[in-house]
Amino acid sequence: MSNTIENSGTSQFKVIFPTTLNNHETLFGGEALKWMDEVAYITAVRFTRNKMVTVSTDKIKFLKPVKSGTIVEVVGKIVNVGTVKIDVLVDIYMEEMYDDCRQKVITGQFTFAALNNENKPIAIAAILQKN
């Protein structure tokens, strides 16, 4: 299972443009959460190769402001596999465009449930056995 967890890790890069900023001239939190949920979803699907839905978000921490003209990497990895749910940790790292300084700026955990064709929860172990 550790190989499946490792291979499901997902990463996306984004440039922070002025259209994604709030009135404080920093990245709008809702935009960051959207990116995080998308990466968490992709990570969950890559892990299970099954239909997944977001159940909850937890411990979202905005550690540092993200300014326009920077690059962010949104990184998802599986951190817990339960009976019908999995937890995905998502971190956002920021780097300056013309400097190699990199720092974690946002972190959070997303919980997903696996669904069958009738949209009912199903056991993760059963899915993994099929794969």
Q: What is the pLDDT of residues 24-67, one digit of tens each?
A: 999 999 999 999 999 999 999 999 999 999 999 999 999 999 99
- CATH of 2-124, picked from 3.10.129.10, 3.50.50.60, 3.40.50.300, 3.40.190.10, is 3.10.129.10
**8 A C-beta contact, residue 52 and residue 114:** yes
Evaluate if pTM is beyond 0.85. Answer: yes
Q: Which of the two residues, 126 and 41, has the higher pLDDT score?
A: 41
Q: How far is the CA of 74 from the CAs of 27, 32, 39, 112, 129, in angstroms? A: 14, 9, 7, 18, 29
For position 35, what pLDDT does the model report?
A: 98
